[in-house]
């Protein structure tokens, strides 16, 4: 995959030509190869562009992305950059969705009145748009459980306190687990010179790890909740 025009590169990456030029101007992409007056791009440009988009999806600021990309050697092989992006992909958050109130009710499975929407907004599940006629669901996978929580006859302060606790500890846990993976799996792979025969195995491992960790976390949390409840019940 060589000799792509800027239009072809943008189409391959799913971005606009203006975005490609903006990234190039910020030093996130190497200069194109000139053939006459035409700039031509290749696989190296595409994988770097995809990596930038992956980092954006993770919520990194442009300044942070620039620092990250600056640490990538100029002679880094496209397959190594693609591997770095693939290792990030399983951890990339889902994309928000915008919908009207009718679609929201259908996704939730029941009607959500204004009070329920206020509670969902307070929990960070959605944001109101157009005066409440439309909403932006921040995490579509949490809409179902969030809607059920919003229907509970429970004070909003209680829901918010529980949500804050869950966010605090899961954020810390995710950071620790990612650090362990980088230290015990990714770093040794890099120190061994990134052997090509190990690349596919590492990609497969990264893809399978997230769902297994989530399943393990849910099971462990359920057991911990049961233990906490039992400790609050007076003994015989």
Residues 18 and 60 in one domain: yes
Report the CATH number at residue 65.
1.10.1660.10
pLDDT for 88 equals 67
Total tally of structural domains belonging to the chain: 3
Residues 10 and 41 in one domain: yes
pLDDT for 1 equals 53
Domain-embedded: residue 1 = no
pLDDT for 21 equals 92
Burial of 166 (0-12, 13-18, 19+ CB in 10 A): exposed
Domain-embedded: residue 113 = yes
Residues 22 and 73 in one domain: yes
pLDDT for 72 equals 83
Model pLDDT for residues 170-210, shown as the tens digit of each residue: 778 878 887 888 888 888 888 888 887 887 787 777 767 76
Domain limit, last residue, from 48, 64, 91: 91
Mean pLDDT score, 36-55: 87
Residues 10 and 87 in one domain: yes
Domain-embedded: residue 23 = yes
Residues 87 and 11 in one domain: yes
Residues 182 and 131 in one domain: no
Mean pLDDT score, 21-37: 89
Quote the domain boundaries for residue 140.
97-153
Residues 164 and 219 in one domain: yes
Model pLDDT for residues 59-108, shown as the tens digit of each residue: 778 888 888 888 887 778 887 777 777 666 555 556 788 899 888 888 88
Domain-embedded: residue 17 = yes
Residues 86 and 102 in one domain: no
pLDDT for 94 equals 64
Residues 116 and 81 in one domain: no
Residues 79 and 10 in one domain: yes
Domain-embedded: residue 32 = yes
Domain-embedded: residue 101 = yes
pTM of the model: 0.50
Domain limit, last residue, from 40, 66, 91: 91
Mean pLDDT score, 49-53: 86
pLDDT for 41 equals 92
Residues 134 and 192 in one domain: no
Domain limit, last residue, from 129, 153, 177: 153
- Encoded tokens for 52: 């930038």
Residues 103 and 128 in one domain: yes
pLDDT at residue 10 above 80? yes
């Amino acid at each position: 995959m060589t000799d792509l025009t800027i239009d072809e590169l943008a189409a391959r990456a799913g971005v606009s030509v203006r975005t490609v030029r903006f990234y190039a101007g910020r030093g996130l992409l190497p200069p194109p190869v000139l053939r006459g007056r035409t700039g031509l791009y290749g696989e190296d440009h595409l994988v770097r562009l995809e990596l930038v988009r992956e980092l954006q999806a993770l919520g990194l600021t442009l300044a942070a992305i620039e620092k990250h990309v600056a640490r990538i050697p100029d002679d880094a092989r496209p397959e190594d950059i693609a591997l770095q992006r693939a290792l990030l992909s399983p951890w990339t958050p889902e994309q928000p969705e915008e919908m009207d109130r009718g679609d929201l009710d259908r996704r939730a499975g029941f009607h959500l009145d204004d009070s329920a929407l206020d509670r969902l907004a307070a929990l960070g599940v959605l944001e109101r748009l157009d005066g409440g006629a439309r909403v932006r669901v921040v995490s579509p996978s949490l809409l179902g459980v969030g809607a059920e929580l919003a229907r509970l006859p429970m004070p909003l302060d209680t829901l918010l306190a529980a949500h804050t606790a869950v966010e605090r500890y899961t954020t810390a846990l995710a950071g620790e687990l990612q650090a362990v993976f980088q230290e015990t799996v990714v770093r040794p792979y890099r120190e061994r010179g990134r052997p090509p025969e190990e690349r596919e195995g590492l990609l497969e491992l990264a893809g399978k790890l997230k769902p297994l960790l989530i399943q393990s976390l849910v099971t462990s949390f359920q057991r911990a909740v049961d233990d906490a409840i039992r400790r609050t019940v007076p003994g015989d």
